[in-house]
Every structure is written in structure tokens, then in C-alpha cells.
Amino acid sequence: MNYKKINDLLGWICAIVATVIYIMTVERTVSWWDCGEFIASAYKMQIVHQPGAPLFLMVENVFSNLALGDPTKIAFWMNVGSAVCSGLTILFLFWTITALARKVFVGNDRNAALSTLQIFMIMASGAVGALAYAFTDTFWFSAVEAEVYAMSSLCTAVVFWAILKWEVRADEPQSDRWLVLIAYVMGLSIGVHLLNLLVIPAIALVVYFRKTKQSTGSGILKALGIGVVVLGVILWGVIQYSIKLAAYFDLFFVNSLGFGFGWGAAVFAILVIGGLAYGIIHSIKKAKPLLNIALVSAAFILFGYSSFAMILIRAKADPTLNNSDPDNAFSFLSYLNREQYGDEPLFKGRFFDSRPTGVEDGKKVYRKDGDKYVVAKRNPVYTYDKETLFPRIYSEKGGHPDYYREYLGLGPNETPTFADNLKFFFGYQIGHMYGRYFLWNFAGRQNDQQGHGSFTEGNWISGITPIDNAMLGGQYKLPSSAKTDPSRNTYFFLPLILGILGAVWHFGKRQRDAGVVGLLFFFTGIAIVLYLNQTPLQPRERDYAYAGSFYAFSIWIGLGLFAIADFLTKKMKARTAAYIATAVGVVAGPVILIAQNYDDHNRSEKSLARDMARNYLESCAPNAILFSYGDNDTYPLWYVQEVEGFRTDVRVVNLSLLSADWYMKQMMKKVNDADALPIHIDPELIKDGVRDVIYYQDYSIPNHVPVKDLLNVMLSDNPQNKVQLQSGEFVNLLPTKKMELAIDKKAVLANNVVPKEWESAVVDTMRWTYSLNYVSRAELSMLAILANNNWERPIYFTITTPEDNYIGLDRYLVSEGFAYRLMPVDFGLKEGDPSSIENVEQTYDNIVNKFSWGNIGNASYVDPDSYRYISMYVGTIYGQTAQQLLSAGETDKAKKLVLNAYDNMPKRAYLMSEVMSYVPLLDVMYKVGETAKANEITRRNLTFIRENMAYYEAVAETKSNLEYRNMRFGLASIQRYKQLLDEVGPPELKKQSDELFNVYRHYFEQSEQ
């Protein structure tokens, strides 16, 4: 039998099977998070967020051509690009497993003969391990969307497979070409994601074992040290310091020699190329093979890394999406270093309650200024009263300090210790942010709700009730909504056990090879935890970062067949044992994983990310300015405008980016069909290092001050309009929060800013209190737009923009669906009250005639990023609008609206907050005569409340106060449904509501006391 032909054929079969299933389940349009940005940028060769992914964008651009000119299919074909990369990853994983399994029998002898039974077991192990990984939760998720992680996994798979190919050929002529291939793929992978570089220590160990006749402990440590050094050289030397040196060459050539921008960087590149060429020639002439392979590999790493030239080239073209505008050496360096995101302390740093004791000037930040580079600013370096080695509880942002205290059991004024630091590291960073993800993939998952330590959300489970009860508490009261949740996946520990058996067997048979796989497992898992040093309350699950670790464990899942077969061989014939072991492996690996995971990884019915973006834009009048904030607002908006060409007249402005000088400058330019923003500020006044932030200082001004006057003060370079700091520096400030804007009523009426019936409510002057204690470029831009726009362009905020970003304009914001429109009207709201104004007729028209709902009403699975919006849909968009229609006597419209909601919203409940939000909508359903449909939803929701409250209570009693958050939502829901059904409900449901209230009456009585 031809081993190679069988190995090649079965590898491709596994890859094709995986790819076909991925394409069947791939999202048909854009997904949430970064996918919208990546698809838009790949389609038009634009610049994504730091540190970029140029190779990924170029490859996906090739896949976009398969849409054959249909812009609505571009996202699908780019998603298929990830599916193909993932399928190829399975191919190389199969070949990796079979290579390692073969070595158990014949070592590195390529020509050794194998028995038929050995070949069968080797191929079976490859298929089981590869297909098991193919259908794990994390890898499958990345395989069906246009994100970098599928292609990054492919790079990792190729590199690890290639080092095994080198290993068996190491004594042959030209074997080092495999090392050159590895170097090239690593260089290329930098243009996708840096995760692939973590394979380097494992590669170093393979090389050491292959080249050393007798390995020693000190030799192994030395090899690992060399591997880590090489990793550091590439990670910092090649990726960062090569660009840093190029930047400082450019600084010298521009500022000292008078050359144009880029000349110094070009000279540096020529010197590097010339130096490598000279070194390679020298190594050949002097017969220095080690130097030769090192220099050739370095050259190929740089050759692969050159994909980043795309970033510089396209930044020069100033495309629509030009994140950070990295068009010169220093902005490119900042882009690669991810400087806009800041740094996490790794070796030494503060506690979350530490206080600064001093500040010093840090490194210089350069910017282009005319024909020179100038120092824009110096990054501050703070010293603190308390610091620790290995800082893990360091963040003072957001709700992090409160979470640290709750998680660690610290009182309000209790000082954390190094022991608390380690407790958070092992409990949260290792346990919650790695161990939980690992067990998701190989033991089972409770649900897909993102948890931050709660025992009712997103934990691992096994499906073995006593074990799950012990871990979670209250599992015996599991609600039916949880039992039928598609994201509840139970593997009964089978893949985990198979992998552990494979690891034990591998260490027993080939300790060196098992050590290499173990090192790969560590560096792509725990080492990432150490490096990322994640803070709590992450906005999304981060399991994708550890896919390489799960890849390594899947190698052992495949080898687990040998462990079972060896055990069974003691009791039966070897052939029978092999067949039984294979059957067990197939069921315990690929079969149970695909059976459990298919329903919640099938995205073929989804389109909400795209539809939400369309809904935002459809809520806007022509030529509008739309302020957004988060990734899931902005990236789908970029996608529908840049790729599908939808409503390109609307100018989308991301407020979290608008504080950057480069983004503010881009907003002053026309894009597509949208005019430049009417900011009208000299770019010289807001360049990097100039007015990065302006702080509020109360000057006790009694009256409201016109916005234009405040802008003049904040933008003035006159020292009389500034305050002098102790350092002697003069800085601008905001002298009052009381702001006003005179209203040109003629302009308001001429531009149809308000509905006809509201024209009498237009005010002469808008007055408000600014809501922040600082003014960044974002707020400066918004105030400038207010001052200069004169109501020529409609101004909107997405409904999901945090209220702080309204800068105090809440009382002038009017809901028109998925966006709030700024209108100079006064309906008697007090300043500071949240806006409750709704343009009901416009909202109704948008809902009935324009809005789409991503098929969430009919899809068999709704993902967490989608069902989080349901509360807003049923409570705000539908419920609030229906209530106002009913109050206005528009019964027919109210009825049409509630029927629209019934048809388009999901037929199951997901979250307690969503169940509670249904009450206004149900109230209208009962009042317009849709009793049967209202009863159906109410009955479903009451069942959800009853079952989940019992579960929450049981878990809260046995586990943690973190569960009382869910209890609070449940109690509020009980109260609201009782009020609803007391007024309009049928006797049967009112009885259920009363019984539910009585069960939890003691909680309400406690709250009243």
C-alpha cells in the first residue's frame, strides 16, 4: 500500500468535508464586530484598525471577485475565504497528526515499511483529531466569518507541519529549504496576526532534538531560551525596531539633511537589503551554513513582512477608511505598535487603587509638520504609591475596581495584596478566561451568554448531572429555556478524555515529540494569558485568541485512538482493538462535536448585523450626520456604505475615533456622497499634541454662553484665554458648562428639521448643561458642527450611543426609530431629564416600511450579539411607539405595529431583561384586541420567569452574590407582569402572575423595609 497516497487522499477528504460544512453554515452577509471593517477594507483596499492585517485584506480581496460584481454577495464570498482557510488548516492538522503517529512506529525513517494495521490506525488518528478540531466551538466560529483568525490558524498549521517535514529530512541535502519556508510563512503571518509566532519555541525544540544525539535538561532549556529569543527578535526586533530605526533614519534625513519624507526610510531599507545580501554571499564564500540559513531565513521573514507596504501605499491614497493615516515612518510605527490602545503592565505595575505620586516625560511622539518632523508631545510616565511585581489587578477604568473588589471579596476601603493579585490571575485570567474556554471546546458549554463570573452564564458543563450540579449549583432546577437552548452543548467529557489519553500515551511512547506538542499547547494558551493580562468585563468573549492551544490538544485527541487500542489489545486481537478504538474515537470526537455544535454554529439564516446598519441609516433624513460609538454600531455601517453602496449620503462619524486628530481631519473631507462635516476648524489648531484634551474649570459664569464664544476661547492661542500651569505651560480650558445656541427659525423651517405640527415648539435658543468634565476633539467637533451647521444637515445619534456622548443635549433628541434626531424643540422637559420625545409618525413609517430584522423571528439560532438587541426592539422601538400611537387614538396603526412585532420577533425568550421589556408591547396588544397573541407571549414569558427565578435563587443561595443581578431583573419582571395582568390580563394568566408574586413576596417586602 502506498502510504503517501493514502495520507494525501485522506487529508484532502477531511479538508473538503470540513470546508463543505463551513460553507453550508457560513454567514451569508456581514457579521458583528470587526468583520464589517475587514470586509469593507478588503473590498476597497483600505486601512483597518491597528496593527493592520494587509495580507488578510489582499487575500480576501481576491475572494471578493467571486461575487461577480454583485455587492450583496461580497461579504458571503469573503466569509467563504475564511471557510477555505479553515478547511486547509484541517488538511495540515491531519498531516501533522499522521506524521507524529508514524514516528511512534518508525521514527524519522521515511522509507520504513508499515503494516496495514499500523497504516489504518495512523490514518484513523489523523481523521479523528483533525475532524474533532474542525467542529470545536472556537474554531468553527472563526471559520464562518471574514476575520483574521481562520487565516492565522492556517499559518500556524503550515508552520508546525513544515517543521515535521524538515525533521524527517534533516540529514538530506537541501533540507533547510523547509526552514526557509517556515521563515517565509512566519513573515507572511505577521500580515494576518501575530499568534503564529508563538510556534517558534516549539520549533526550536524540534531542531534541538533532531540535531542532538543525547538531549540533556540544560540543552533543552538552552534550546527553549534560543526559541524565546528568536520570538523576541521577530516580535520586537523585526516588527517594531526595524520600523523604529527606519523612522529615526527618516528623522535624520528630513530634519538634518533637508530631504523629503521617506528618503531616510528608503535608505535604511537599502542598507538592510544590502547587508543581508552581503552576509548571505559571505556565508556562502566562507562555507558558514548556520550563518547562511539564519540570514536567508531573516530575508524571507522580511520578504513576508513586506505585505505591510500595502498599508503605507494605500494610506498615501487617503481612502475612505484610513485608520490612523499611517502615511509616514512615525505614524506607521505608532500604527504597528498599537499605541492608540495603550499598554498593559506585564512585569511591574500598579494596583487598581494606587495613586500617582509623580509624572515624568516619557518617549517623544513625532508628527509631520510642514516639511519637518516635530515633537508633538511626550507620553507621560507616572509613578505610584503602591506597585507590585507581576501586576494583574491594575485597571482603574470603568467598573474594573468594583469588579476586582467583588471578585476578591475586598471591602470598599480594603487594600489589595499580592495574594489578591495571584488569586485574580489563577481564578479569573487562567480559570475564567482560559480554562473555561478550553472546557467549552472539549467538555461542553452551558450557554452562549457572556458571563463575568456568574454561575448562570457562559460556563463549561459536561452533561453529567452530578458533576454539573457540583460545579454550578441549582442545576437540578434547570429551566426548559436552558435545556432547549441551541448553544447548550454537552460532550460528556469525551473529547477531553480522548485528548488526555492521547497525551499520556504520547509521553509514554515519544516523550520528545509529546514535549514539543505540549510546548505548542502552552505557548498558544497560558503564555497568551500571561501576555494579554486581560482586565475584567471584556466586551466580548476572547476564546479565539487561544485557538492554537486547542489545535495542539486536538493532536492528542487523534493519538488517543492508540491509547485505547493498546489497552484493548491486551484483551482481544489487535485488529479488533483497532476497529473498536477507531469507532470510539469517531463518536467521542467528531461525531459528538458536530452533533452538538451544528445548530449554534449555523449562521446561514442570519443577517441582523447588516439589517441593523441599514435600519440606522434608514432612520436618517437625506444628507444626515450620524454619530455612532461602538464597534457593533460602526463596522456594519461602514460595510453597508462601502460595499453595498447603501445610503452613502449619510456621513457616519464614530465618536470613539473622533478624539484622534487624523480622524477629525478626515471628517473635514467629502466622502462618497456625503459632504465634509461643517467643523471649520484650522487643522493646525487640533493636530496631534495640540489640544488633545481641554479640561473644565468652573469660572462661576452665571449665564449660558454661546457655543461659538466657547469655541473661540478653547481654540484661542492668546495667553489671555488660557491658564498657566505650574510648569509654566499655557493651556486652554472650558470655563463653563452652561451652553446655548441661538436658533435661526427660518433655517429650521426651510430645512424641514421638525414635523409641521411641531413648528410652534421650536425655541429661540437651545440651552443645556455640558455633561463632561473635559473636551476632547470629539466634543470639540460636535460643538463646532452645532455652531456652523445652521440646521442645513440633519444630526443624529444611533440609539445605542452612550448618553454621556450626547454632551448634555438629551432633552433635544427625538427618536425616529434607531436614531435620535437633534431638534430645537421644547415640550416642557426639565434640563437633565432623559429624552422621551418621539416622532411617532416617522418612527411608525420606518418600522412598517423600511426596517428589517435580520430574520431573528424565524432563525433556528440567534447569537448573543443579536439577542442582546431584542429588549430594545420590543421595549423601545415597538413598545414605546405602540403606546404613543394608542394614546393618540391611532388604534389601527397600533394594531398593525404589534402584529408586525409578533411576526418579526423571536418565538422564544433569551434574557430576563428582554422578557421584562415586552410589557408595554403586550399592554397594547391586549388593548387593540390581539388577545390570543398577547396570551401566547405572556404565557411563554411567565413560564420563563418562573423557571429561571427558581434557578437564579438556587444558584444565588449556593454560590455567589453575582447571581443577584439576575434576581433583580426577575423580581422587576414579576412586578411589571402583575401590574399588566391586574389591568388587562385574562383570569388564567392573572392567577399565574399572582402565584408567582406570592412565591417571591418576601423579597418585595424586604425591599420596602
Q: Does residue 471 surpass a pLDDT of 70?
A: yes
The DSSP-derived string for 113-139 is ---HHHHHHHHHHHHHHHHHHHTSHHH
The CB density around residue 809, as the number of other CB atoms within 10 Å, is: 22
Question: Residues 47, 114: one domain?
Answer: yes
Residue 124 in this model has a pLDDT that exceeds 70: yes
Residue range 237-268, pLDDT digits in tens: 899 899 999 999 999 999 999 999 999 999 99
Q: How far is it, in rounded angstroms, from Cα 160 to Cα 164? A: 7
Mean pLDDT over residues 360-389, rounded? 90
Question: Exposed, middle or buried: residue 597 (CB in 10 Å: 0-12, 13-18, 19+)?
Answer: buried
* Residue 147 grid cell: 476575520
Whether the CB-CB separation of 496 and 443 falls below 8 Å is answered with yes
Return the C-alpha cell found at 324: 490612523
pLDDT at 726 over 90: no
pLDDT at residue 361, as a whole number: 85
Q: How many angstroms separate the CA atoms of 448 and 32, rounded?
A: 15
Q: Does 910 reside within a domain?
A: no
Contacts of 787 (CB under 8 A, 6+ apart): 707, 708, 711, 741
Domain match, 271 and 149 both: yes
Q: How confident is the model at residue 475 (pLDDT cuts 50, 70, 90)?
A: low
Residue 289, preceding bond cis, omega within 30 degrees? no
E strands, 743-871, where? 765-769, 774-776, 795-798, 813-815, 819-822
Indicate the range of 282-286, 729-733, 810-814 predicted with least confidence.
729-733
What value does the mean pLDDT take over residues 48-77?
96
586 and 631 both lie in a single domain: no
863 domain residue, yes or no: no
Place of cell 496593527: 51
Instruction: Establish if 906 belongs to a structural domain.
Output: no
Of 538, 571, 601, the last residue of a domain is 601
Taking only the tens place, the pLDDT of each residue in 201-237 is 999 999 999 988 888 889 999 999 999 999 999 988 8
Query: pTM (2 decimals)?
Result: 0.93
Task: Flag whether 220 is in a domain.
Answer: yes
Is the pLDDT at 458 greater than 90? The verdict is no
Cβ neighbours around 367 below 10 Å, total: 20
Q: What is the DSSP string of 41-60?
A: HHHHT-B-STT--HHHHHHH
* Same domain, residue pair 180 and 232: yes
- How confident is residue 953, by pLDDT bands cut at 50, 70 and 90? confident
Number of domains in the chain: 3
In a domain, 1001, yes or no: no
Q: Are residues 174 and 279 in the same domain?
A: yes
Q: What is the spatial distance between Cα 295 and Cα 276, in angstroms, rounded to a whole number?
A: 6
- Picking from 851, 870, 888, the residue at the C-terminal end of a domain is 851
Give residue 721's pLDDT: 83
Range of 235's domain? 3-311+493-601
What is the pLDDT at residue 954?
79
Backbone angles phi, psi at 360, to 5 degrees: -125, 160
225 shares a domain with 79 = yes
Sequence letter at residue 819: A
Do 636 and 597 reside in the same domain of the chain? no
Q: To the nearest whole percent, how much of the chain has pLDDT over 70?
A: 97
Same domain, 357 and 304: no
Handedness of CA 868, 870, 871, 876 (dihedral sign): positive
Q: Residue 317's pLDDT is what?
A: 92
In a domain, 847, yes or no: yes
Q: Is residue 450 part of a domain?
A: no
C-beta separation of 60 from 34 below 8 A: no
Q: Find, among 338, 407, 330, the residue nearest to 376 by Cα.
A: 330
Distance CA 987, CA 994 (A): 10
Same domain, 788 and 836: yes
Query: What whole-number distance in Å separates Cα of residue 397 and Cα of residue 395?
Result: 6
| Residue 953 in domain | no
Rg of the chain, C-alpha, whole Å: 31
CA distances from 557 to 132, 364, 500, 567, 762 (A): 8, 51, 7, 16, 70
User: Do residues 133 and 43 both lie within one domain?
Assistant: yes
Using CA atoms, how far apart are residues 824 and 765, in angstroms rounded to an integer? 8
Mean of pLDDT values over 642-668: 95
Q: Are residues 756 and 653 in the same domain?
A: yes
pLDDT digits (tens, 9 = 90+) for 413-447: 899 999 999 999 999 999 999 999 999 999 999 99
Q: Report how far residue 292's alpha carbon sits from residue 297's, in angstroms, rounded to the nearest whole number.
A: 8
> Grid coordinates in use for 809?
443635549
The pLDDT value recorded for residue 214 is 86
Grid coordinates given for 371: 516639511
Q: Is 699 in the same domain as 787? A: yes
* Lookup: cell for 368: 509631520
In this prediction, residues 379-403 reach a mean pLDDT of 91
Of 601, 630, 646, the last residue of a domain is 601
pLDDT > 80? residue 834: no
Question: What pLDDT shows up at residue 1009?
Answer: 52
- Mean pLDDT computed over every residue of the chain: 92
